[in-house]
A and B are shown apart, each in its own frame.
Chain A
Amino acid sequence: MKWWTARQRDADLRRELQSDLDLEEEEQCERGLSPADAHYAALRAFGNLTLIHEQTRAIWSFVWLESLARDLRYCLRALRQAPGFTAIAILLMALGIGANVALFAVIRSVLLNPLPYRDPGRLVALYSYIRENKHVHHFAPIDAGSFSAWKQGAGDAAEMALICPFQNYNVSAENGQLPEKVDAAMVSANFFSVLGVQPILGRTFVPSDDRREAQATAILSYSFWKRRYDGDPNVIGRTIRLDAQPYTIIGVMPASLIFLGPFSPGKIQLWTPVTHEAPAWLMSTLEDHEFVGVARLAPGVTLAQLLARLDPIQAHIKAEHPSAPVRDATSGRSLLNDAVQEYKTPLYVLFAATACVLLIACLNIASLLVARAAARQKEFAIRTALGGGRIRLLRERVLESLLLTASGGALGVGLAAAALRWLQHARPDLRRVDTVHLDWTIVAFAAGVIAAAALFSGLIAALSIDRTRILSALQESSRTQSGGRGRARLRRALLALEVCLTVVLLIGAGLLLKSYTRLRSTDLGIPTDNVLTLGISLPEARYKTAVQQVTFLEELIARVRALPGVASAGLVSRAPGQGWGGDRLTTVVEHPPMARGTGTDMLMRGADPDYFSAMHLPVLEGRTFDPDERLKNDHVAIISKEAAHVCFPGEDPLGKHLRFVTGGDAYKIIGVVSDTRYSISEPVLPMMYIPIYGNGYTNVTIVVHAAHDADAMALPVEKVIGRMDPDLPVAGVLTLQETITTSTLGSQFDSLVVLGFAIIALLLAAVGHYGVLAYLVTQRTGEIGIRIALGAQRRRVLRDVLVDGIRPALLGMVAGLALSALCVRLITSILYQTQPLDPYVFAAVPGLLLLAAIAACLAPALRAANLDPAGALRTE
């Protein structure tokens, strides 16, 4: 039955009934009745014509659609009559659904979507497991020596490839392009075939490229090829100069190849063969860990089985070479987990927060619908009495909430789209964030959420219409003093649930916020205002000797210092807060020898003599480097306070010597400076400074303390560098403030977003609370009026109403605190220097909530207390 024939069928039916009725009338006439009597007799014989019409129409299936349309009209009219309620409800739903849809889109694209490689489920990343004192690293980089043993031992269980993601190159200026420093990776020849990625141009590495004596070759990433070569298809076979050496371009990778992982820089621009690039010793050592293994498991082999095969091999290596840096055990995880592991907890926490907000929004809407249902109680009662079906009433409730959630949801999907665009802008550090987009799956998810939310809030409201009570509503006289108590109980329960969820959100937000402020107030160890850093690395092909390198650096820093606006400047291998920057195991020469292969792990820094004063890094003991402590005379060291504390407890370190466990060079300690952090979110570690004018430093960071505006110094310093060597690219041009902002971006984002949701939740709870109590007071107007008329104290009325209103909040609060205590464990891993059961947060949140509850209850309570008894009794 097509709906568009409905009208025609309707007319047809009307005509049929009329003609038969006329016939009946004629027959009655023929029996001798008068025309008027015949008319009524025919009608009597027929019965209720409209009902027959309706019942016959009901045979055709479009009827349910029609009645649905009618219900829809009723709902729309009802909603239009309460524009405030409608707007608030739609906005609530838009927020709740929008946030959920946006987060689902992010989680799907970032965490769940498979990696764009062939059969990605069988790809795993291989690491080593280390335990150093108290620190446990589950996924630490590996050494090439162990890896080749693993590869042999794995046999046909897995195809294994090696990648060193720590490489970078200076790309020389050519064809009018500026020089630049790019992130790169050195890989074994089988790396791309293990991933199952084909180049879009040229070829991948073959084993003959991956030899020391081979001709230098490089493969470009898609983005690098597009940007630097403008997508030129004839790029294959051309020469690119990396670190001033010629390389032949043999291939271009597809855009989908973005190798991720905690050690990957995120955007690898160039790929080179590892055996050709890395020094020979690095390819066989067991003590330098510069690599990550990638393996494709053979069908039927699990990661655990592979690791079970590799672990005895590693144990054997450790037994033969018991020195400390040699790893004890292997570890691994799926390549997908490897890429996104660190985002899992924050994203799932945010998702849980948005789900809470949606639930609260649903509860609020349910509560509002319950209140509306209560106001229309008489109407429902009459309709039920006249034979209106219960299903029909139920359908109307659900339809009403469906209307609200659907329009809210449509708005929410729009909000989600905007939020995602903002997210890509605000969190460029988020892995795979550029793949996030709205598609049909997301729309389907949104539709599902809308349906679930509508059903949830609609059913709660519908179930509040109790059939037995509905009829008693008609019997109740209008002077009912306790009417709606049961419904109020339902609303109180909803309120308690709302408060409970709000407490959980607020506590989560409080902890994250505390963690973030802790992080932001962490002292790097030096003043961070007006400090600019710029990184350069001198290609050894051009600066062949140590003298050439040092001369260039000394000349450079002298010129930078002479620039107007520069208060002071220095050179350091890695500025504070900008990362690990290398470490060495050391022992104290003057101390009794320690067990073979053990020592203190020191972060290593090269620094020029004036670095310490330029950075206002206080010298606590001794002195800094002398100008002549350079080149051959470079074996002197300045240690940090923490290093002095760890290596020389209760001793004077000055004049003592530190020896590298590997290499054996000894450095005389000439000074002690205060501590700096290598990362804002990591604890202070022992640090050792040695002269940067020597010790083979070619990767250096220029730190400039500007008199006023640090950013404004970037261009003059870059010009100085460009004048001295036009081929030398400058990288990492950042102020220290930017460094801190970048490394706290995740924490800031998580805490602010959760805080935003928590505030929304708090507002919702307060509004809901106000609504419930205002409703209760209205219901009890008559009762309160009588009590006041009989001489009840107004203070007492105020107290009674307040207590009555706050009780569900207290209940929800207790439940919420208990639930939070269980849930906070889940976010421990993303908290910085903050205990999950932080007493301040756990005390502040209930306090805040109580204040909000009192504020919400005060207005209705005051209204009750100030009731004019005469007026109240008259309004009945």
Chain B
Amino acid sequence: MTKQQQQQQRAGLLQGTLDMLILRTLLYGPAHGHQIGKHIQRTTNDFLQMQHGSLYPALHRLERRGWVTSKWEQAPDRNREFKYYRLTDKGRKQLAVEESQWKQMAEAVARVMWPVAEEN
């Protein structure tokens, strides 16, 4: 496996989960790109280093699919406008779907990885 292929695979894995993480973050309310990135990073105790090169494409992809909408709004704490993303109904449904998929996936992986622990 070449280095490039490895990178591609990791990117693919992250991409799927990144969409879900963004949608979940927006469940708290509208946020702009910077906030979303910071939130994910903070919540995972900096385990997931937010790559801006993935974040913005992901946001735009979600918008294109109709899962989020965007609007320029005044920030409450700063005297400037930011581009705020907001979850749509379609996005909420998508989040539920992705969440359940992720759960199944995690359980399936867990069963294989820790079979004994499961039997107990």
Could you tell me which A residues sit within 8 Å of B by CB distance?
1, 12-13, 15-17, 19-20, 22-24, 26, 45-48, 51-52, 55-56, 58-60
Nearest B-chain residue to A23, judged by Cβ: B34
- How distant is the Cα of A17 from the Cα of B57 in the complex, in angstroms? 11
- How distant is the Cα of A15 from the Cα of B33 in the complex, in angstroms? 12
Q: Which of A12, A16, A47, A58 is within 8 Å of B33, CB to CB? A: A16
Main secondary structure of the interface of A (DSSP, over half): helix
Nearest B-chain residue to A1, judged by Cβ: B64
- How distant is the Cα of A50 from the Cα of B80 in the complex, in angstroms? 23
Q: Work out how many contacts link A and B, with CB atoms closer than 8 A.
A: 51
Nearest A-chain residue to B63, judged by Cβ: A59
Q: Which of A20, A24, A55 is within 8 Å of B82, CB to CB? A: A20
Task: Tell me if B81 counts as interface (CB < 8 A to partner A).
Answer: yes
Q: Which of B34, B51, B56, B81 is within 8 Å of A56, CB to CB? A: B56
Main secondary structure of the interface of B (DSSP, over half): helix
Residues in B with CB closer than 8 Å to A60 are 60, 64
Contact A56 B57 (CB under 8 A): yes
Known: A1-B64, A56-B60, A59-B60. Is A19-B82 also a contact (CB below 8 A)? yes
Residues in B with CB closer than 8 Å to A20 are 32-34, 82
Q: Which of B56, B78, B81, B83 is within 8 Å of A55, CB to CB? A: B56
- How distant is the Cα of A823 from the Cα of B52 in the complex, in angstroms? 66
- How distant is the Cα of A543 from the Cα of B83 in the complex, in angstroms? 106
Task: Tell me if B53 counts as interface (CB < 8 A to partner A).
Answer: yes
- How distant is the Cα of A1 from the Cα of B34 in the complex, in angstroms? 25
Residues in A with CB closer than 8 Å to B61 are 59
- How distant is the Cα of A19 from the Cα of B83 in the complex, in angstroms? 8
Residues in B with CB closer than 8 Å to A52 are 52-53, 56-57
- How distant is the Cα of A12 from the Cα of B81 in the complex, in angstroms? 12
Point out which of B64, B80, B83 has the most chain A C-beta atoms below 10 A from its C-beta: B83
Nearest B-chain residue to A55, judged by Cβ: B57
Could you tell me which B residues sit within 8 Å of A by CB distance?
32-34, 51-53, 56-57, 59-61, 64, 78, 80-83
- How distant is the Cα of A48 from the Cα of B34 in the complex, in angstroms? 16
Contact A58 B64 (CB under 8 A): no
Residues in B with CB closer than 8 Å to A47 are 51-53
Residues in B with CB closer than 8 Å to A17 are 56
- How distant is the Cα of A106 from the Cα of B55 in the complex, in angstroms? 60
23 CB < 8 A contacts A-B: A1-B64, A16-B56, A17-B56, A19-B80, A19-B81, A19-B83, A20-B32, A20-B33, A20-B82, A22-B80, A23-B34, A23-B78, A45-B52, A47-B51, A47-B53, A48-B53, A51-B53, A52-B52, A56-B56, A58-B57, A59-B57, A59-B61, A60-B60
Residues in A with CB closer than 8 Å to B34 are 20, 23-24
Contact A59 B64 (CB under 8 A): yes
- How distant is the Cα of A188 from the Cα of B89 in the complex, in angstroms? 79
- How distant is the Cα of A51 from the Cα of B83 in the complex, in angstroms? 20
- How distant is the Cα of A23 from the Cα of B64 in the complex, in angstroms? 25
Residues in A with CB closer than 8 Å to B60 are 13, 56, 59-60
Return B6 CB to nearest CB of chain A, in Å. Answer: 16
Residues in B with CB closer than 8 Å to A26 are 78
- How distant is the Cα of A24 from the Cα of B56 in the complex, in angstroms? 15
Contact B57 A16 (CB under 8 A): no
Return A384 CB to nearest CB of chain B, in Å. Answer: 13
Return B49 CB to nearest CB of chain A, in Å. Answer: 10
Return A15 CB to nearest CB of chain B, in Å. Answer: 8
Residues in B with CB closer than 8 Å to A13 are 56, 60
Nearest A-chain residue to B36, judged by Cβ: A20
Residues in B with CB closer than 8 Å to A55 are 53, 56-57
Residues in B with CB closer than 8 Å to A46 are 52
Return B39 CB to nearest CB of chain A, in Å. Answer: 13
Residues in B with CB closer than 8 Å to A16 are 32-33, 56, 83
- How distant is the Cα of A12 from the Cα of B53 in the complex, in angstroms? 17
Residues in A with CB closer than 8 Å to B57 are 52, 55-56, 58-59
Residues in A with CB closer than 8 Å to B80 are 19, 22
- How distant is the Cα of A33 from the Cα of B83 in the complex, in angstroms? 26
- How distant is the Cα of A55 from the Cα of B60 in the complex, in angstroms? 10
Residues in B with CB closer than 8 Å to A48 are 53
Residues in A with CB closer than 8 Å to B56 are 13, 16-17, 52, 55-56
Nearest A-chain residue to B51, judged by Cβ: A47
- How distant is the Cα of A1 from the Cα of B63 in the complex, in angstroms? 12
Return B32 CB to nearest CB of chain A, in Å. Answer: 7
Nearest B-chain residue to A21, judged by Cβ: B34
Residues in B with CB closer than 8 Å to A24 are 34
Residues in B with CB closer than 8 Å to A56 are 56-57, 59-60
Return A534 CB to nearest CB of chain B, in Å. Answer: 83
- How distant is the Cα of A13 from the Cα of B94 in the complex, in angstroms? 25
Residues in A with CB closer than 8 Å to B32 are 16, 19-20, 23
Residues in A with CB closer than 8 Å to B64 are 1, 59-60
Residues in B with CB closer than 8 Å to A22 are 80
- How distant is the Cα of A445 from the Cα of B39 in the complex, in angstroms? 59
- How distant is the Cα of A52 from the Cα of B52 in the complex, in angstroms? 7
- How distant is the Cα of A350 from the Cα of B24 in the complex, in angstroms? 70
Nearest B-chain residue to A9, judged by Cβ: B60
Residues in A with CB closer than 8 Å to B33 are 16, 20
Residues in A with CB closer than 8 Å to B53 are 47-48, 51-52, 55
Nearest A-chain residue to B34, judged by Cβ: A20
